[in-house]
Amino acid sequence: MKQTEIVIEGKDVSIGYRQGKQEQTIHSRLNFQLRQGELTCLLGANGAGKSTLLRTLAAAQPALSGHLHLLGKPLSEYSERERSRTIGVVLTDKTQAGGLTVYELVALGRQPHTGFFGRLRQEDKELVHHALHAVGIAHKAQCYTAELSDGERQKVMIAKALVQECPLILLDEPTAFLDVVSRIEIMTLLHRLASEEKKAILLSTHDIEQALVLSDRLWLLTREEGLQCGVTEDLILHNRMDSLFPHEDIRFDLMHGIYSPTVKGEKRIYLKAENETLRHWTENALNRNGYLCMPQTEEKAFPALEIHSPYDIKYTDVNHITCQFQSFEELLKEIACR
């Protein structure tokens, strides 16, 4: 991985809330970096402090202690106008600008450069058009925002952040209300924009599956272990994902990159499958029905299952009686009676 510019860096940062002389610290001594050209996903359970961390990075609330630098300058020394030119923020809340066209709403992102009543210059208009094309929503430029789907509206808000020309973009649950296709589109879009537009993009999300596929780095935030940062595959293969949701009944599946219930089957069965895809989905069905799958051996202490295709399933019980099934429905109906 090529060395890239550090856009924002935190050293020994404590985050939380201050009321008068009273402080409520949520996390302390956090250390992190966000780099140009990288998409980073912030993962954590509800209540772990993700939104507090994002608000701190956006300067919406101050850090309680530590050093937080944006482009080498202390974040606390930025004026509000400077921050609006440097940090783009996209929140989960649905925009209430339904009476504006897509073009008009995106153009509002130029306010930090033109002022509230500023007129768009030719270069501003070109930036708006570029942003609309970059997020794939240019064909809706003259549509009213109220006419858009949730996924399209989210693309518009990302375009609005792009025209601010900020090196740092922070997004709080940008896919929270989207269907699966829109979630994949938005995550793919953000990864592409980070790379092509040379932005440092940080987003909080519960869409772990897409985060593991598309994020260059992960930030794992937990009450117990604070913030763990690293390249996605390093954290996965060092078993750090198991610390994200410390629950004895939930495990992280390294092979498939998902969280699932811990299998507590009281019955055992030998399983032989033609390929890994068949093995995975056969185990899924058996685990759901109270079976633990064992590797095939010469012993016959347990029933055995051989699967060559979804239409060719052979079940042999401990008495060596064999049954053939042509679907999982037939198989599960049979083993439910045993």
Higher local confidence (pLDDT), 67 or 290: 67
Amino acid at 215: S
List, in sequence order, the alpha helices (H) in 164-293. Answer: 180-196, 208-214, 232-237, 276-288
Beta strand ranges found along 147-290 (DSSP E): 168-172, 200-204, 217-222, 226-231, 250-253, 258-261, 267-273
Helix (H) or strand (E) run with residue 14 in it: strand 6-19
Looking only at Cα atoms, what is the longest distance across the chain?
84
97 pLDDT more than 70 = no
Give 98-134 pLDDT, tens digit per residue. 688 999 999 988 887 776 566 788 888 888 999 899 8
Q: How far apart are CA 315 and CA 306, in angstroms?
A: 7
**Contact in structure between 216 and 39 (CB atoms under 8 Å):** yes
Report, as an integer, the average pLDDT of 326-333.
94
Digit-coded pLDDT (tens) for 167-176: 999 999 988 8
Q: What is the mean pLDDT of residues 213-236?
A: 95
Q: What predicted TM-score, i.e. pTM, was given to this entire model?
A: 0.86
CA distances in angstroms from 131 to 24, 25, 40, listed in the order given: 40, 39, 21
Q: Tell me the average pLDDT across 204-227.
A: 94
Banded model confidence at residue 1, pLDDT cuts 50, 70, 90: very low
Q: Return the SS3 of 190.
A: helix
User: Could you tell me which of 233, 228, 187, 225 has the C-alpha nearest to residue 206?
Assistant: 187
Instruction: Round to whole Å and give the CA distance between 38 and 1.
Output: 11
Q: Is the pLDDT of residue 192 over 50?
A: yes
> Distance (Å, rounded) from C-alpha 7 to C-alpha 197?
14
Q: Is the pLDDT of residue 94 over 80?
A: no
For a pLDDT cut of 90, what percent of the chain falls above it?
59
* pLDDT, tens digit (0-9, with 9 covering 90-100), for 239-248: 999 888 877 7
One-letter amino acid of 75:
L
Q: What is the pLDDT of residue 121?
A: 84
